[in-house]
Structure 1
């Protein structure tokens, strides 16, 4: 299959939902892409949905209530089918109309919002699925292109001051406040944009996971444009 992700050892490329959920992460491969070129007018759907806050969850009933053109209806059917596939698989997909996420800039020296490169963590065996139907798409980055922020001396020193507690509790403090999930790109880092329309499965940090968790971030939104994002 010829596409922009072929030949990247971090990414496995598949051509069906069945392959997406049944392909195993291995070695440095911690992201799997169901590569698709979707038909339909997703912009029309975005234009007819109502944003109630910075992030609005869109239900299947919300989609079905829209009066759409033939191309808009094609897009709607694709989204509804993706939601059903993931639900039948046992996942809990959410469709979001998104203006922006909350920023975390309170500390100044470290950011822990989704715009920062981070990994997802779960106590149980699970993966993260995501698909951007419209708007800016997320980035992933190879694990050897980043450094854990808590290991950067200047940041670690600031975190010690913030902790202001017994040394033996410091590592627990870093985990309790999710500082250990965030990463800084190295100077030579080469992120990969996930693109629009592809359904991705990325590795999560959990005890049974054999691959490294996939480091990713939310994109800065395009000015004046909402994102339509499926995630679970």
Structure 2
């Protein structure tokens, strides 16, 4: 199966949902892609949904209530099928109509919002699933092309000043405020765009995980264009 991701060690490419959920992460591979070229008009769905706030949760009922053309209906069937497959698997998928995420600009030297490269952490064994049906798609970064921000000396010094407490509590402080989840691309890093339509499974940082968690970030939205994103 030829695709844009097949030559990448970080990414496993599969052709069925069953393979997506049952393939083990191993070695450098911490992202698995159910590669597909989706039919249907997802833009029509986006144009008919109501944005209530910057991130609007779209329910199955909201989707079913839309009056759609044949191509729009085809797109809706795909989304409903993805939601059902993930729910049957035991995940809790949510469909988001996105104008933008909240920005974190409290610290001028360290951003902890989702536009910054980061990993997800969970106390239990789980993975992150996502699919962008419309709009800009997320990026991932090979772990060897990124540096944990808290290990960069000048950033670490600034965080120590911010902490202003006992050295023994510094590492806990970094975890409590999620500073340790964020990464900076190394010079010449080559991010991989996840593109639209594919369903992804990304490795999360948790106690039983055998591989490094997948470093990713939300894209800067295209001007005037909403994203339609399934995530869990």
Give the alignment's TM-score, normalised by structure 2: 1.00
Please state how far the C-alpha of 1:10 moved relative to its aligned partner.
0.1
**Matched residues in 2 for 1:152 and 1:212: separation?**
19
**Matched residues in 1 for 2:38 and 2:191: separation?**
23
Partner of 1:230: 230
1:98-123 per-position Cα deviation (integer Å, ceiling 9, x unaligned):
00001111110001000000000000
Partner of 2:87: 87
Partner of 2:185: 185
Partner of 2:30: 30
SS in 2 for 1:216: strand
**Matched residues in 1 for 2:189 and 2:10: separation?**
14
**Matched residues in 2 for 1:100 and 1:202: separation?**
22
Partner of 2:215: 215
1:181-209 per-position Cα deviation (integer Å, ceiling 9, x unaligned):
00000001000000000000000000000
For structure 1, which runs of at least 5 residues remain unmatched after alignment? none
**Matched residues in 2 for 1:212 and 1:147: separation?**
13
Partner of 1:157: 157
Partner of 1:75: 75
Q: Does 1:99 align with 2:99?
A: yes
**Matched residues in 1 for 2:83 and 2:33: separation?**
17
**Matched residues in 1 for 2:83 and 2:92: separation?**
9
SS in 2 for 1:26: coil
Partner of 2:13: 13
1:74-96 per-position Cα deviation (integer Å, ceiling 9, x unaligned):
00000000000000000000000
SS in 2 for 1:19: helix
Runs of 4+ in 1 over 4 A off after TM superposition: none
**Matched residues in 2 for 1:141 and 1:161: separation?**
29
Partner of 1:121: 121
Please give the root-mean-square deviation of Cα atoms over the aligned residues, in Å.
0.3
1:6-60 per-position Cα deviation (integer Å, ceiling 9, x unaligned):
1100000000000000000000000000000000000000000000000000000
SS in 1 for 2:18: helix
For structure 2, which runs of at least 5 residues remain unmatched after alignment? none
**Matched residues in 2 for 1:109 and 1:216: separation?**
19
**Matched residues in 2 for 1:154 and 1:230: separation?**
37
**Matched residues in 1 for 2:196 and 2:217: separation?**
15
Q: How many residues align?
A: 232
**Matched residues in 2 for 1:222 and 1:186: separation?**
25
**Matched residues in 2 for 1:89 and 1:80: separation?**
14
Partner of 1:2: 2
